Each structure stands twice: as structure tokens, then as C-alpha cells.
Amino acid sequence: MSYVGPDFDPPRPRRSRRGPLTLAIAGLVPAALVGWLVYEAVADTGGGPAGAAAPPTSSPVSGSATASPSDESATAFPSEDSKGRAVPPSPASTTGRAAGSGSLKGKVVVIDPGHNPNNFRHTAEINRKVNIGTNRKECDTTGTSTNAGYAEARFTLDVARRLRTILQDQGATVKFTQDGDRPWGPCVDERARIGNEAHADAAISIHADGAAAGDRGFHVILPASVHSGTADTRPIAASSRALGERIAGSFVRVTGSAPSNYLGKGTGLVVRDDLGGLNLSTVPKVFIECGNMRDSKDAALLTDGAWRQKAAQGISEGIVSFLHG
């Protein structure tokens, strides 16, 4: 997701803080070293020196990349395998499906695939301001895309569906905020409300960034301790951090991707107080930016089905670790 528009304004500069993940990342270094070397070897074949990328096409208000009406991501689409072939979607939708047996039986996970493939058709609706607890922002944005036109909304749905399958196979009840089955949105306040009303044991919002070329890697966004207006994240700030740390650690290990080189001071963690999806949450919740769609090397990963399966697996292992305590 681009850091422009609702829930995506540029984060204010923060002084570096050493948190619990510092030790966690240190502990992961031996296990992740081989994956990181493979990551660099593969990424170095992805193109020449990083230069300034062409700026994303912007919508009048949100400033996020806008899909073309002819872009296939403008309509609901199935998941894809590593060769881009369609995989029929799971029958579960926003209501989830009955949990099977497994170690996560009785646990509820809410997955929030960022944006919506059809948002660009509903600019009036998504530009409407909603309460995010501390102030008001636009309902939603169109999201960003790779320079070749692979939309963030397409990426988030694919990873979310893969993640759902993994968690359901372990017995969890999984609910979506949207499954490509809505004409637009939902708004950021509703996305938070869906997790709250489900009494989720964990919630995650899946995104990809739209930063400058040369900015690479993933980062997990944690809610700051906010107590202002209708927002009060104090009860879930610590548990959300624990969730985010587990996800960041497993994402490094499973995908071989490195933490962001432009946010988070190498920890893979960023704390923000300006996101309605976090400010309004009453359950443990984090966002993950899986990579930068505007960097050619990250884009090569984000558009690869095999890597997206690793991303889903990495996220799932972090969630499972958190839920098992």
C-alpha cells in the first residue's frame, strides 16, 4: 500500500527504539542467513541499478495508484498458482467457514485483504471521510501497483486466500473483511469493526507498499498506544506487538526476505498512530507490508505465485506461534 491516502499518510520521523524484536532478529540470524543469501542472489538478477521509478497514477483525492478500467484486477479474480493459472477460490467468504479439527480449533482469525479491486469505480464512496478514532480520513484507497500494472488489491486477495487455507487446515475459523465480493471497500472503520465483532484472537491486514525504487523489504506495522477520541489501543498494544514480532520473525525465516531498508531501522517493525484499522481495533491486530511494488526486485517476488505461497506460510506461522502463546 502506498503511504498516501486514508490510513497511509507518511509516518512521522521517529527516534530509533530498541524493542523486543532486536533480540528476536538476532536469534533468527543463523536460521535466516541461508535464505537471505538466496534472496540476494535471486534479487540481483532482477534488473539494473535502482533508479527513480515512474510515479504511480493518482486518484484525485487519495493519491494512490488507480487501476485502469481495462486492468483485469478491476474485477473479482481467483487465486493463482506459480504459473499464473487460476485457482478456484475457497467457498468461505466474509462469513468464514466452520473450523475443522486441529491445533487452532476454537480460534478466530480475521484477515483483511487491503483495498478492493473495484475501488477505482467508486471514487465518491471511497473518498468519503470516516472517523478513525483520532480524526477523520477517507474511507479507503485504490492501493498501489507494480510498474507493470499488477495491482496491490490483486496481490492482497491472493495472499489472503492462501493464508486462509493454511489456517483453516489447522482448525481456525477465518473471517475476511472482503473477498472480492463487494463493489468497493469496506471503509477502514468497518474493517476494524469486523475484527472486533468477530472477537478475533488475531487480526491482520495484508498490503504491499508503493515506495521509491531501491526501497526494499517487508515491515509489520504495530498500533501505538493511542487514547484519543474514540480510539483506545492501550488494551491491545502489547498483544499486537507480540503478534507482529512473531509474524516478522517467521516471515524472515520462511520467505528469505529482509526487513525493510527504509523503515523500522532494520527491525521489520514500525509503530504508527494514524491508521484507523489499528486505532479502532479492540483485538490484537497488525498490518504487514510484504514488499515494495515499485521496486523491480521486490516486484519480481510479489508477482511470483510460489513466493506468495511462502508469504502466506510465513504469516501463518507467526499467527500460529502467537495463538499458541
Q: Which residues of 117-131 are buried (b: 16+ CB within 10 A; e: fewer)?
A: bbbbbbbeebbbebb
Helix, strand, coil % over all residues of the chain, rounded to 5: 35, 15, 45
Between CA 39 and CA 102 the distance in angstroms is 33
Catalytic residue among 80, 138, 152, 289: 289
| Contact assessment for residue 228 and residue 8, using Cβ atoms and an 8 Å cutoff | no
Between CA 64 and CA 37 the distance in angstroms is 33
| Contact assessment for residue 174 and residue 105, using Cβ atoms and an 8 Å cutoff | no
Q: 325: which residues sit within 8 A by CB, 6+ positions away?
A: none
Q: 232: which residues sit within 8 A by CB, 6+ positions away?
A: 133, 226
Angle between helices 234-255 and 20-43 (to 10 degrees): 30
Consecutive H or E run containing 112:
strand 108-113
Between CA 145 and CA 158 the distance in angstroms is 14
Consecutive H or E run containing 237:
helix 234-255
Does residue 289 carry a catalytic annotation? yes
Point out the residues that are catalytic: 289
